[in-house]
Structure 1
Amino acid sequence: MSVASVTAAAAKNRLHAGEEIAFLDVREAAAFGEGHPLFAIPCPFSRLEATALALVPRADCPVLLIDDGDGIAMRAAQRLAACGYTDIAVIAGGLPAWEAAGLGVFAGVNVPSKTLGELLEHDHHPAMIDAATLANWQREGRPHAFFDARPPAEYAKMRIEGARCVPNGELAHRVGAAVPDAATPIVITCAGRTRGIVGALTLRAIGVTNPVYALENGTQGWALAGLPLDRGASADPMPELDAGQAQASRASAARLIAASHLSTLTPGEAEGLLDEAGRTTFLFDLRSEEERAAPPVPGAIPALAGQLIQATDQYVGVRHGRLILMDDTGLRAALAGLFLRALGFEVHVLALDDAEGVDAPAVPHPALKAPARPLSVDARAAWSLAQSGVPVLDLRSSTEWEAWRLEGARWVLRGDLPGALAASTRRVLLLGDAAAVAAATCELQAAGISARWLPADADACAQAGWPVDRVKRRMSREDARDRVWFVHDRHDGNKEASRQYLAWEMNLINQLDAAERAAFAPVSIGATA
């Protein structure tokens, strides 16, 4: 198929036209983190197909690609066409042309969601508590309920002692079980600003009467105040709801849905939207992991409500797409919908409690195909091939490479292929996960090079006689292009990086042009109180 080339100005107009479009940045994570258009979705060429198929499940959805003006976008277009995408365009000149046209570039990740958080703070002014005041409360034993709005994995990395992990959305749903009474002050923290702000406003949105505070600048503000962070903590199970508390969640959902004019669906109506041609519809299951297991909804995308708001571009790759948000009582779904609607999505709420005895909606299988994986070989056979001179390419992440390496293996990214190999190469061994290996195989096959996949881990390779280097090594910033380096060590004690990050976050609104500012709809909060 032919691939259209569009100017940066034309691309910008398409982004603000109100129609569905998947704007994919196919550069690697390091480049994306240093600067990208506001509504670009990270879709690195090294993991192109796996990412695109998850984030853009409709074959005829318009796809717009941007690169560094280095030709990677055209290569990506060919690969996406092979998957079944039929409407693909490339921005001529890539990001350099975008900047030359005077269009805005934003550093960082999850920028639309974080910009929304700053706009919410600007519009609604949730109460803030600074680190010193909260530390005094803790020393004095002043009653308060303290929650961390992040998911358990982030909570484990670093937390403030005394904070309980109850992510955004879950806290509003479980507030009756998590907070002892209607008078105890509630404090919500995250790692920076956005989730603390959103968490406080979710409680305001459902009419919680307790004093509610967001911890100013979260764990980073705490560390900048010279206060210690606890690392390696495991999250406790989330509070269980009794029948009365579950009914309170349903009642809060009903009030919020009515006050905010959110659309609700039956399972049958949801299935109709999922089957509709010409639209991209996502079904999200916002229940907890335990709840999702019984009963499961096959094909639904699992997500925590707070994370779907915080990192929308990691779940949805289609601007102006349609989101069906599903949980049991409807509250987590309604809260997510309240904020996601402000990002330009069409949102609908599906409460499973209202559909007892009715089958959940069926999610149709996308008319897209992932690249095939090559045949695999075991570690012993692979070691024999390597000893005979077959090149070994390490396609794992740079952080995995830092932990251990196979003797003779060369770390590469897909975009380096086939140029990283000698012209005479006719076969290779590939070490890495299925998605990375399948992606790289496309480049190799096009160059007439056959590949075999080595799925073994370090122990299996060592048992096969393969020398394994397990000494922790650092890959240089220049080489580790697959990770975000923008203020990357702000959570590891680099206070200057934290200051830079917080200043960046608070300046996001000032970076918006008129069209970008208009893309964020106002959020009405407090009408149910």
Structure 2
Amino acid sequence: MTTNIQTYQDIRKKLLAGQEIALIDVREEDPFAQGHPLFAVNISLSKLEVEILNRVPRLNTDIVLYDNGEGLAERAYQQLQTLGYQQVSLLDDGLQGWKDAGGEIFIDVNSASKAFGEFVEHHKGTPSLSAQEVKQLIDDQANIIILDARRFDEYQTMSIPNGISVPGAELALRAKNIVKDENTKIIVNCAGRTRSLIGTQSLINAKIGHEVYALRNGTIGWTLAQQQLALGQQQQYTNFPEKNEVGQVLKNAKELAERSGVKTIGSEQLQQLQQQDDRTTYIFDVRSEQEYIRAHLPDSRWIGGGQLVQETDHYASVRSARVVLVDDQLVRAYMTASWLAQMNWDVSVLDADFQTIFTQQGGWKPVVPLLHIKHRITPEQLQTWLDAREKVTILDFTSSANYQKGHIPTAQWLLKADIERLFNEKKIPTDHKIVVTCGTSLLAQYAVSAIQTKTSENVYVLEGGNQAWVKTFVLEADKHVYLSSRTDRYKRPYEGTDNSVQAMQDYLDWEYGLVAQLNTDGTHGFFVV
């Protein structure tokens, strides 16, 4: 088989020229986080079928795959060709080839977005207060509010005492509802630095009319200062009545976006963009998920605007693609768009008769390849087999973290990419009926064909997956069996409450060095207004 190859220089030229390209690392997230190019995106071979059509929707996209010598990229190359992708290449000599050619290597995840946050602070001088200074303001009962710019679930896990959950894109729209009076100081925090800095600068850029500060180093800084975090807080922006007209905020947000190069388009223009097959157009709804579920534009994907800026690579995985943002109040779209434009994306905001075009309801559903499943089994049937002690092996393809929290009794965890190796090593019996599952069985169903080549026994998909199981039966919280190494997720040093002091400090030191790394890499195209 002839394989197309692209070199570091080929890719660098395309990045600098603003040509569309998807540079995909097909390893699991943990090895990806140990080192990758700035604009590489992580779509592991194990999850390829459920992610690729959503993250790289155009079949004639210029795609470059790589690994670090594990042989995963070659397998992904064949899969993408089977799915109909027409311009697939391998990176010459993989990650090592990138390094050998002088390419800069970035660690962690969402590195481009985090580097951009540091770039913004460096060039705008975003004001911040230390953990000790904020603690003193709290103790003095000063006229302040603390707004947590992360997702609500992150805020609930641990947050600054008295903090209020206001995910990033909501800040400019909601802050004036929460302040006590015109003299209230606003402090914005996240777990580390990026969302604190972007959130703070968002309020400043939107001319909110209050003193605004980032909590320096977020909850990490708070912890390193040996101060207590609050657990399970419930305060959200939705608890505060809307008391301010959004007219001036909208005017400021739109002017800011226009200065950043953002375009405003209508429904007809959007349809024209969608019909062009030589460019990728992402449509993101940046409102709250509840608003999206109530009614949204067909073909749009929900992602809160703050998270889109934080995790741009995960959603817009084709660099230099077009991005269209949707928000019936417009403020969140314009604020998010202003940042994406400064990150060198081609961004438009949709302004239309939203009541007419929001014709779909329900949560976002990923586009996945069509698949015919021959054998399915209900949770009740599976329980009958377990009770009868039949020879059945249950393979769970959910995340290793979810598996650890609880799994179907006797279920074993593995990565889909490891199926062939595990059978070859006789870690999975070939004389058992096999049942595959995951959260909903969406991913698990794509493991069936690989398993079926290794056994003459039937392979069954659990209908509704683990989510269906728990409606009737209990999960087992112990007796974990890991057939694969738990490399599917990188443990972030800023999430959870069990991180070592050294890991948190190392993370901050890395973030401080990102601006210098951007200068060395030279492909970012970032700017500030």
TM-score, normalized by the shorter chain, greater than 0.5: yes
Name the SS for the 1:232 alignment partner: coil
Match of 1:439 in 2: 446
Match of 1:413 among 412, 415, 419: 415
- Give the CA deviation at 1:474: 9.4
Give the AA of the match of 1:451. Answer: V
Deviations 1:230-274 (A, max 9, x none): 112224242667585132333223332444442100112112112
Q: CA deviation at 1:406?
A: 4.7
Map 1:219-234 → 2, pairs under 5 A: 219-234=219-234
Distance 2:367 2:165 in 1: 39
Which SS does the other structure have where 1:16 is aligned? helix
Note closer, same or farther for the CA distance 1:258–1:184 as it changes in structure 2 (3 Å cut). same
Which residues of structure 1 form unaligned runs of 5+?
525-529
Match of 1:483 in 2: 489
Structure 1 residues 51 and 454 mapped into 2: Cα distance closer, same or farther (>3 Å)?
A: same
Q: 2:522 aligns with which of 511, 514, 517?
A: 517
Go from structure 1 to structure 2 and tell me whether the alpha carbon gap of 1:185 and 1:280 turns closer, same or farther (over 3 Å shift): same
Structure 1 CA distance, aligned partners of 2:202 and 2:493? Answer: 29
2:204 paired with 1:196: no
User: After the TM superposition, which residues 335-354 of structure 1 pair with which residues of structure 2 at under 5 Å, given as runs?
Assistant: 335-352=335-352
Q: TM-score, normalised by structure 2?
A: 0.88
Compute the displacement of 1:446 (Å): 5.5
Judged with a 3 Å threshold, the aligned counterparts in structure 2 of structure 1 residues 357 and 310 are, in CA distance, closer, same or farther, namely closer
In structure 2, runs of 5+ residues without a counterpart are: none
Can you list the C-alpha shifts for 1:405-433, whole angstroms capped at 9, x where unaligned?
Answer: 45554322112122212589386321224
Match of 1:274 in 2: 274
Q: Which residue is equivalent to 1:470?
A: 477
| Mapped partners of 2:487, 2:42: distance in 1 | 13
Instruction: Find out whether 1:205 has 2:205 as its counterpart.
Output: yes
Q: Any idea what SS the aligned residue of 1:522 has?
A: coil
| Aligned equivalents of 2:249, 2:408: Cα separation in 1 | 53
**Is the CA contact (8 Å cut-off) linking 1:174 and 1:239 kept in structure 2?**
no
Name the CA distance, whole Å, in 1 between partners of 2:367 and 2:304. 27
Match for residue 398 of structure 1? 400
Aligned counterparts of 2:232 and 2:202: Cα–Cα separation in 1: 28
Aligned residue for 2:188, secondary structure, equals strand
Is contact 1:23-1:39 (8 Å) kept?
A: yes
SS in structure 2 of the partner of residue 238 of structure 1: helix
SS in 2 for 1:147: strand
Q: Distance in 2 between matches of 1:166 and 1:227?
A: 22
Q: 1:405 to 1:154 in 2, by over 3 A?
A: closer
- Structure 1 counterpart SS, 2:247: helix
CA contact (8 A) 1:152 1:235 kept: no
**What residue is the counterpart of 1:97 in the other structure?**
97
Distance in 2 between the 1:208 and 1:461 partners? 47
User: Does residue 507 of structure 2 align to residue 501 of structure 1?
Assistant: yes
Deviations 1:426-467 (A, max 9, x none): 863212243321332243356576521124549959988xx9
Residue identity matched to 1:106: F
Taking a change above 3 Å as real, the CA distance of residues 391 and 167 of structure 1, as seen in their structure-2 partners, is closer
Over residues 158-202 of structure 1, what are the superposed CA-to-partner deviations in whole Å (9 max), with x where a residue is unaligned? Answer: 101111111212110123312233332111111111111111111
Tell me how far apart the structure 1 counterparts of residues 499 and 69 of structure 2 sit (CA, whole Å).
36
Q: Which moved more, 1:234-243 or 1:145-154?
A: 234-243
CA distance in 2, matches of 1:154, 1:277: 38
> In 2, distance between residues paired with 1:155 and 1:370?
37
Aligned residues: 516
Cα distance in 1 for partners of 2:420, 2:12 equals: 33
Of residues 170-179 and 386-395 in structure 1, the stretch that sits farther from structure 2 once superposed is 386-395
Structure 2 residue aligned with 1:527: none
In the superposition, relative to structure 1, how do residues 410 and 474 fare at CA in structure 2: closer, same or farther (>3 Å)? closer
Asked if the contact 2:163/2:235 (under 8 Å) is kept, the reply is: no
Are 1:344 and 1:519, in contact at CA under 8 Å, matched by a contact in 2?
yes
For residues 311-350 of structure 1, the aligned pairs below 5 Å read 311-350=311-350
Instruction: Classify the secondary structure of the residue corresponding to 2:174.
Output: helix
Aligned residue identity for 1:198: I
Q: Give 1:523's aligned amino acid.
A: V
For the 8 Å contact 2:178–2:237, the answer to whether it is kept is no
For residue 46 of structure 2, what is the amino acid of its counterpart? Answer: S
In the alignment, residue 411 of structure 1 is paired with which amino acid?
W
Q: What amino acid does structure 1 have at the position aligned with 2:446?
A: A
Q: Distance in 2 between matches of 1:16 and 1:488?
A: 32
Aligned positions of 1:265-304 closer than 5 A = 265-304=265-304
Q: Is residue 48–residue 439 contact of structure 1 (8 Å, CA) maintained in 2? A: no
Give the Å deviation of 1:390: 4.5
Q: Does the CA contact (< 8 Å) of 1:267 and 1:360 recur in 2?
A: no
| 2:40 counterpart residue number | 40
Find the residue that maps to 2:51 and give its secondary structure. helix
Normalized against structure 1, the TM-score is what? 0.88
| Residues 384-395 of structure 1: pairs in structure 2 closer than 5 A | 387-395=389-397
Give the Å deviation of 1:341.
Answer: 1.5
Q: Is the 8 A contact 1:114 1:505 kept in 2?
A: yes
Aligned residue runs from structure 1 range 55-66, under 5 A: 55-66=55-66
Matches within 5 A, 1:144-159: 144-159=144-159
For the Cα contact (< 8 Å) 2:145–2:179, is it kept in 1?
yes
Using the alignment, how far apart are the partners of 2:220 and 2:340 within structure 1?
Answer: 26
